[in-house]
C-alpha cells in the first residue's frame, strides 16, 4: 500500500487548531525554553526546533495489516511528517546511539518526553543530523538578469574588497518609494553601493537603505510567547533602487505571485510544519523544499540563544508512489535573500501550482549543512525569517505587480518576431523550403502565444535557445551561461555606420561605392577613428562588422543547401534572423546606440562610496533599453500584427552571392537611417526628461509605425536571403528532409565553434567567398 501525505489545506494554514494533538505552539515553545539547558548538556545534541514527530518511512501506517517499526537511526531524509504526527520538540544529535548503550548511564539518555510543571507531557523526537564542520564554498554560475532585475536575480555587493553575490527576494514599498528586499549582510551599511550584471556588464542598481534589521529579542517579534535570553535572527536589508524602470516584480520562472502569507504570534501554528515551499535563488535556481521545523536554535553565545523562524529542507513526502523521485533540493552561497513561497495544498502528482497560488512566506538568510546517510554528502538546509513580521516592523508591503512591469527580454521580442514572420514573406516559389522552415518554426523562434506574451526569460541559462537568439544567449560572452560563449562574437552584432572618420566620411558614405564593402577598407577606416568618450583607439573587438557577418552566413547557407545538409541550413537560417534583425534597428547601426557621446553630461553620485564624485555620460543614455526593449515589448501586439503585412519576395529580387547579401543589408541600413534618424530619436528621449513609461510612450508616438516599417524591411530581407541561398544551392533538389529538428540536434550544431565561426573585422575576410 502506498501512503501519500496530504498537505494542510490552505484555508487552515493560519489556524491555530491542530487535528492531531492537544499541545499548542505556545506549549512547545515554553517546554523547549524550560528544558533547553538540560537538552543541550547532552554531548551529542547540536540543535533543537519545534515541529511534529517524524515517522520513519519504513515504519508501517496504523491501518497496515503488517506492523513494522524500525529502531535504527532516524534522520530527516529517512523520515516524514504524517497526518497523525503529534507536536514535539525536535532534537538534533551528532550521532545516533542504541538505547542499550545507556544501560549503565541512563541519565545520559535523551528521554522520550519532558514533564511540564502543570503535569502535561511534551514529546521529544530525536534525529541524527550532525553538522558539517567545514562548509564547502562552491563556484556557482549566478543568474544575473539580462535587463530587468527581479525576484531570484543575482546582485553584487563588495565586502572588504571582494564581490559577494546574493539574491533579490522581492520588491516592497513604504507607500512613497519602492525597495528591493534582500539580506542586510549583503547590502551592508546605509549608502553602500549594490550592483548587478546587466547585459553582461556590472552596473550599479542602488544603495543600501537605512531601513534594515539584524536581530531582535524573541519576545519583541512574538509578544505572545515568553522566552528568555533568545534572539530571532532577521538579517533584512533594503536596496534603495536607482531606476525602478529596470525592475520587474515577477518571480523568475513563476511570474506574479499571490498575496503575502500573514503570520504572527496570534495565528502561527504547527500546521506549517510539513508544508511544501519553493524558492528561486540566484545560485541554485528553483528549489523545492519542505518546512521541517519552527524556531530552529542554531547557535549559542554569551548566554544567548539564536533562533531562525523556519528550518527548510528537502521534501520528504508528496510523491505519487515510493518509486517516484522527489524534487531535488540544495541551497548554495549566493541564495541569501531568496524569497520562499508557500505552495497550496494539492493531491500528490497534480499540476505544478501557478504563480498566483504561491504565497510569499519567508526570506532566506543562511544555511546549515547537516550529514544524512553514512556515505551521503552533507545536506543543505535553509534558514529563513517570516516576511510578514519583517514587513510589519519595517512598515513596508510587498509589491506584487504594476502596470510598467516588463519581462526579461533584452530585445528578444524583435529578433523572434522577425524570425517568425519571415514565413509570411516567403514567395512560395520554393515549396520544399517553405515546408522545411514552417516545420522548424519553433526551433527558430517561438509559438504565437509566447510571442504575444513575450515570456522569454531564462534563455541565458537554458539548454535550448531558439535559433534566432543563439547569438545573444548562447554565443555572446558574459550573457551565455551554457559553456559555449564565443569571445569574438560581440562585434558581429553592430556597425556604427554614421560615425565620421578623419576625413569626415562615414561608413554610409564609403559604401555608396560597393567596392568599399571590403573588410580591409573597413579596418583602415577603424584605424582612423577613436572612441568618442575616451578618445582611445577602437579595439578590435569593438569594430562592428554586421554586414560581413550576413555575407559569411549567406555563403555557408548556399553550401549547406548544395550539400543537402538540411539541419545546418535550418540552423544557419535561424541564426541569420538575429543579425538581420539587428541590422534593421537604428540603435544597432549607429554610434548614438545609447545616447550622444559628443554631448556628454556630468553625472554626480548622490550617495554611496562615490557620493560627491562625478563621471561623464552620453546625453540620452538609456534610450537603447527604452526603445528596443521596453517600447517594443509594450507594443508587441501592434508590431506582430504589422509584420503580418510584410511583402512577399519576388523572383526578380533573388541574389546569388554573399557580397550581394552585404550590399542588400547596407541598403536596408541606409533606409532605416532615413526613416528614423538616430540623432532625432536621442533628442526625443532627452526631451521627455525621464525614463519609464513616459519615455516609452514618447518613442512609440514618434517612431512606432516607422519601427514596424523598418522591421518589415528586415523580415523581407531575411526571407530574400533564405530563398536566395536555397536557390543558389538548389535546395529543392539536394535537400530531402522536411521534418523539424529536435532541440538536441539544433543545439549540437550551434555548440560547435566551427559552425559559422565568430571573428573580427580583421580576420573575417578569410571566411568570405
Q: Rounded to 5 degrees, what are φ and ψ at 595?
A: 110, 175
Q: What percent of the chain has pLDDT over 90?
A: 41
- Give per-residue pLDDT as tens, 384-411: 999 988 888 888 888 876 533 333 444 6
Distances from the Cα of 114 to the Cαs of 28, 81, 694, in angstroms? Answer: 10, 21, 65
pLDDT at res. 410: 42
Q: Which helix (H) or strand (E) holds 745?
A: helix 743-751
Beta bridge pairs of residue 154: 167
SS3 38: helix
pLDDT digits (tens, 9 = 90+) for 57-112: 889 888 888 888 887 888 888 888 888 888 999 988 888 876 666 555 556 667 78
Lowest mean pLDDT segment, chosen from 239-243, 256-260, 301-305, 765-769: 301-305
- Confirm if 262 and 133 have CB atoms less than 8 A apart: no
Q: Are strands 230-241 and 304-314 parallel, antiparallel or unpaired?
A: parallel
CA atoms within 13 A on the CB side of 27: 20
User: For residue 234, how many other CB atoms are within 10 A of its CB?
Assistant: 24
Task: Write out the three cell numbers for 51.
Answer: 515541529
Cell numbers at residue 730, please?
Answer: 538548389
Average of per-residue pLDDT across 558-584: 97
Mean pLDDT across 667-680: 96
Which pLDDT belongs to residue 686?
93
Q: Is the pLDDT of residue 240 over 80?
A: yes
Split at pLDDT 50, 70, 90, the class of 586 is: very high
Cβ-contact 199, 147 below 8 angstroms: yes
Asked which of 31-40, 242-251, 350-359, 708-717 is least confident by mean pLDDT, the reply is 350-359
pLDDT of residue 325: 56
So what's the pLDDT on residue 420?
Answer: 93
Assign 81 to helix, strand or coil: strand
Contacts of 421 (CB under 8 A, 6+ apart): 640, 643, 644, 646, 715
Residues 169-212: tens digit of each pLDDT? 999 887 678 899 999 888 888 888 898 887 667 888 899 998 88
Closest CA to 596 of 626, 616, 614: 616
Q: Which residues contact 273 (CB under 8 A, 6 or more apart)?
A: 50, 51, 52, 81, 291, 292, 293, 294
- Closest C-alpha to 430, from 718, 725, 647: 725
State yes or no: pLDDT of 470 exceeds 60.
yes
Per-chain mean pLDDT for the chain: 84
Higher per-residue pLDDT: 462 or 82: 82
Cα-Cα-Cα-Cα dihedral sign, residues 624, 554, 461, 465? positive
Q: What pLDDT is recorded for position 20?
A: 38
The answer, yes or no, to whether residue 608 has pLDDT greater than 70, is no
Q: Which residue has the cell 539541419?
A: 567
- Is the model more confident about 244 or about 58? 58
Distance CA 177, CA 30 (A): 40
258-272, 285-299, 601-615 — most confident range: 285-299
- Its pTM stands at 0.59
pLDDT above 50 for 252: yes
- Give pLDDT, residue 9: 37
Higher local confidence (pLDDT), 618 or 439? 439
**Does 756 score more than 90 pLDDT?**
yes
The residues near 120 (Cβ < 8 Å, ≥ 6 apart) are 23, 27
Percent of the chain at pLDDT > 70 equals 85
**Interval 674-679 mean pLDDT:** 96
Which pLDDT tens digit goes with each residue over 495-535? 999 999 888 999 999 999 999 999 999 999 999 998 877 77
H or E element that contains 551: helix 546-562
By C-alpha distance, which of 744, 754, 733 is closest to 566?
733
Asked whether 669 and 583 are in contact (CB, 8 A), the reply is yes
Of 602, 604, 603, nearest to 612 (Cα)? 604
Mean pLDDT score, 486-502: 92
Residue 419 pLDDT exceeds 90 = yes
Residue 19: predicted pLDDT: 38
Q: Looking at 480-613, list the stretches that DSSP marks H as alpha helix, in order from N- to C-terminal side.
A: 507-510, 519-527, 546-562, 566-583
| Contacts of range 65-71, beta carbons closer than 8 Å, 24 or more positions apart | 71/98
- Report the alpha-carbon distance of residue 292 to residue 227 in Å, rounded: 21
Helix (H) or strand (E) holding 180, with range, is strand 178-182
CB distance 254 to 223 below 8 Å: no
pLDDT at position 546 over 90: yes
Q: What is the pLDDT of residues 113-140, one digit of tens each?
A: 888 888 788 888 988 877 665 555 454 5
Mean pLDDT of 414-422: 92
Number of CB atoms found within 10 A of residue 103's CB: 8
Task: Give pLDDT, residue 314.
Answer: 87
Question: What is the distance, to the nearest Å, from the Cα of residue 480 to the centroid of all Cα atoms in its chain?
Answer: 13
| pLDDT tens digits, 626-671 | 898 888 888 999 999 999 999 999 999 999 999 999 999 999 999 9
Whole-number Å distance between alpha carbons of 635 and 632 = 5
Higher pLDDT, 681 or 301: 681
Amino acid at each position: 500500500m502506498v501512503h501519500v501525505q496530504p498537505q494542510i489545506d490552505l484555508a487552515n494554514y493560519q489556524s491555530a487548531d491542530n487535528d492531531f494533538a492537544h499541545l499548542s505552539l505556545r506549549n512547545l515553545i515554553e517546554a523547549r525554553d524550560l528544558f533547553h539547558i538540560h537538552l543541550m548538556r547532552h554531548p551529542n545534541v547540536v540543535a533543537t526546533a519545534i515541529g511534529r514527530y517524524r515517522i520513519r518511512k519504513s515504519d508501517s501506517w496504523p491501518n497496515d495489516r503488517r506492523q513494522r517499526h524500525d529502531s535504527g537511526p532516524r534522520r530527516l531524509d529517512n523520515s516524514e511528517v504524517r497526518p497523525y504526527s503529534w507536536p514535539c520538540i525536535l532534537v538534533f544529535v551528532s550521532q545516533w546511539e542504541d538505547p542499550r548503550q545507556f544501560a549503565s548511564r541512563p541519565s545520559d539518555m535523551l528521554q522520550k518526553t519532558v514533564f511540564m510543571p502543570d503535569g502535561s507531557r511534551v514529546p521529544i523526537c530525536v534525529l541524527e543530523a550532525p553538522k558539517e564542520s567545514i562548509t564547502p564554498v562552491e563556484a556557482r554560475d549566478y543568474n544575473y538578469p539580462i535587463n530587468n532585475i527581479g525576484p531570484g536575480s543575482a546582485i553584487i555587493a563588495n565586502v572588504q574588497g571582494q564581490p559577494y553575490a546574493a539574491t533579490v527576494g522581492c520588491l516592497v514599498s513604504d507607500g512613497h518609494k519602492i525597495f528591493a528586499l534582500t539580506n542586510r549582510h549583503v547590502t551592508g551599511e546605509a549608502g553602500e553601493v549594490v550592483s548587478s550584471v546587466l547585459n553582461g556588464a556590472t552596473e550599479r542598481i542602488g544603495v543600501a537603505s537605512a531601513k534594515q534589521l539584524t536581530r531582535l529579542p524573541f519576545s519583541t517579534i512574538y509578544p505572545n510567547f515568553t522566552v528568555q535570553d533568545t534572539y530571532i535572527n532577521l538579517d533584512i536589508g533594503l536596496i534603495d533602487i536607482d531606476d525602478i524602470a529596470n525592475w520587474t516584480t515577477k518571480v523568475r520562472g513563476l511570474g506574479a505571485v499571490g498575496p503575502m502569507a500573514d503570520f504572527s504570534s496570534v495565528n502561527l501554528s504547527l500546521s506549517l510544519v510539513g508544508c511544501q515551499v519553493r524558492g528561486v535563488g540566484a545560485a541554485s535556481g528553483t528549489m523545492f523544499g519542505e518546512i521541517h521545523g519552527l524556531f530552529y536554535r542554531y547557535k549559542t553565545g554569551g548566554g544567548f540563544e539564536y533562533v531562525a523562524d523556519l528550518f527548510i529542507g528537502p521534501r520528504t513526502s508528496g510523491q505519487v508512489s515510493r518509486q517516484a523521485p522527489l524534487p531535488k533540493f540544495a541551497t548554495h552561497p549566493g541564495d541569501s535573500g531568496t524569497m520562499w513561497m508557500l505552495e497550496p495544498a494539492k493531491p500528490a502528482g497534480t499540476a505544478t501550482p501557478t504563480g498566483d497560488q504561491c504565497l510569499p512566506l519567508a526570506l532566506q538568510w543562511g544555511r546549515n549543512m547537516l550529514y544524512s546517510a553514512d556515505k551521503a554528502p552533507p545536506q543543505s538546509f535553509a534558514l529563513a525569517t517570516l516576511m510578514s513580521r519583517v514587513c510589519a516592523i519595517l512598515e513596508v508591503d510587498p509589491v506584487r505587480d504594476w502596470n510598467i512591469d516588463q519581462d526579461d527580454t533584452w530585445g528578444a521580442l524583435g529578433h523572434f518576431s522577425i524570425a517568425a514572420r519571415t514565413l509570411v514573406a516567403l514567395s512560395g516559389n520554393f515549396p520544399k523550403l517553405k515546408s522545411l522552415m514552417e516545420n522548424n518554426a519553433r526551433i527558430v523562434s517561438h509559438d504565437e502565444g509566447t510571442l504575444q506574451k513575450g515570456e522569454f526569460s531564462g534563455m541565458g541559462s537554458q539548454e535550448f535557445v531558439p535559433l534566432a537568439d543563439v547569438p545573444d544567449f548562447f554565443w555572446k560572452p558574459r550573457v551565455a551561461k551554457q559553456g559555449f560563449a564565443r569571445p569574438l562574437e560581440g562585434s558581429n552584432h553592430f556597425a556604427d555606420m554614421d560615425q565620421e572618420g578623419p576625413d569626415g566620411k562615414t561608413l554610409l558614405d564609403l559604401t555608396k561605392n560597393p567596392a568599399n564593402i571590403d573588410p580591409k577598407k573597413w579596418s583602415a577606416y577603424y584605424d582612423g577613428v577613436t572612441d568618442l568618450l575616451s578618445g582611445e583607439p577602437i579595439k578590435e573587438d569593438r569594430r562592428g562588422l554586421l554586414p560581413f557577418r550576413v555575407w559569411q552566413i549567406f555563403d555557408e547557407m548556399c553550401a549547406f543547401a548544395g550539400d543537402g545538409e538540411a539541419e545546418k541550413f535550418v540552423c544557419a537560417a535561424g541564426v541569420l534572423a538575429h543579425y538581420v534583425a539587428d541590422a534593421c534597428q537604428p540603435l544597432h547601426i549607429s554610434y548614438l546606440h545609447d545616447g550622444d557621446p559628443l554631448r556628454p553630461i556630468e553625472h554626480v553620485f548622490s550617495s554611496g562610496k562615490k557620493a560627491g564624485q562625478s563621471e561623464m555620460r552620453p546625453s540620452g543614455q538609456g534610450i537603447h533599453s527604452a526603445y528596443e526593449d521596453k517600447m517594443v515589448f509594450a507594443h508587441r501586439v501592434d508590431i506582430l500584427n504589422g509584420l503580418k503585412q510584410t511583402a512577399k519576395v519576388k523572383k526578380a529580387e533573388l541574389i546569388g552571392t554573399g557580397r550581394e547579401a552585404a550590399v542588400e543589408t547596407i541598403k536596408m541600413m541606409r533606409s532605416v537611417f532615413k526613416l528614423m534618424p538616430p540623432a532625432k530619436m536621442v533628442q526625443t528621449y532627452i526631451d521627455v526628461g525621464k525614463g519609464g513609461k513616459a519615455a516609452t510612450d514618447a518613442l512609440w508616438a514618434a517612431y512606432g509605425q516607422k519601427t514596424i516599417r523598418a522591421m518589415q524591411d528586415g523580415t523581407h530581407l531575411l526571407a530574400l536571403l533564405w530563398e536566395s541561398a536555397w536557390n543558389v544551392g538548389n535546395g529543392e533538389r539536394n535537400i530531402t528532409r522536411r521534418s523539424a529538428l529536435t532541440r538536441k540536434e539544433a543545439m549540437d550544431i550551434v555548440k560547435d565553434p566551427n559552425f559559422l565561426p565568430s571573428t573580427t573585422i580583421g580576420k573575417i575576410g578569410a571566411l568570405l567567398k
